[in-house]
With several copies, the nearest count.
Chain A
Amino acid sequence: AAATATQSHAQAADGDPNILNLPAHSKGLGQPVAARPYGLPSEFEKNLQRRESPGLTRVGQASVSFCPLQGLFGIITPSGLHFERHHQGWWDIDPSKHRLMVNGSDDSMLKRPMVFSMDELMRLPNVSRMHFIECGANTGMEWGNSAVPTVQYTHGMLSCSEFTGVPLRTLLDLCGVDFKRAKFILAEGADGSSMTRTIPISLIMSGEVLVAYGQNGEMLRPENGYPLRLIVPGVQGVSWVKYLRRIEVGDMPYATKDESIHYVDLQPSGLHRQYTSIQEVKSVITSPSGGQVLLDKGFHTITGLAWSGRGKIKRVDVSTDGGRNWKPARLEGPVLAKCLTRFNADFVWDGKPAIFQSRAVDETGQIQPNYHELRKVRASRSIYHNNAIQSWQLEENGEVKNVQV
Chain B
Amino acid sequence: QQADPAKAQRSALAGIGRTATPAEVKAWDIDVRPDFKGLPKGQGSVRQGEVIWEAQCASCHGSFGESSAVFTPIAGGTTAADVKSGRVDGLMPGANQPQRTTMMKMSTLSTLWDYINRAMPWTSPKSLTANEVYAVTAYILNLGNVLPEDFTLSDSNIREVQGRLPNRNGMTTAHAMWPGRELGGTDRPDVQGSACMTNCGGEAVVKSFLPDYARNAHGNLAEQSRNIGPTRGADTTRAALA
Contact = CB atoms under 8 A, between A and B. Distances in A.
Contact of A298 (B14, B87, B193, B199): B14
A4 interface: yes
B98 interface: no
Contact of B228 (A124, A227, A252): A227
Nearest to A349: B230
Interface string A259-292: 1110011111111111111101000000110011
A184 interface: yes
Interface string B1-42: 000001001101111111111011101111101110110000
B115 to A, nearest CB: 4
A79 interface: no
Interface string B206-228: 11111000110111010111111
Q: In the complex, which range does the number of interface residues on chain B fall in?
A: 35 or more
Q: In the complex, which range does the number of interface residues on chain A fall in?
A: 35 or more
B21 A15 contact: yes
Interface of B: 6, 9-10, 12-21, 23-25, 27-31, 33-35, 37-38, 68-71, 87-89, 91-93, 100, 102, 105-108, 110-112, 114-115, 118-119, 122-127, 170-183, 189-201, 203-210, 214-215, 217-219, 221, 223-234, 236, 240-242
Given A10-B18, A149-B218, A367 B192 contact: yes
Interface in A299-325: 299-301, 309, 317, 321-325
Contacts, number: 410
Residue among A174, A260, A369 facing the most chain B CB atoms (10 A cut-off): A260
A395 interface: yes
A370 B102 CA distance: 31
20 contacts: A14-B24, A48-B226, A51-B224, A68-B224, A71-B225, A88-B125, A106-B37, A114-B19, A115-B19, A145-B207, A149-B218, A261-B105, A266-B100, A276-B175, A295-B231, A325-B199, A326-B200, A399-B240, A401-B209, A403-B209
A277 B183 CA distance: 12
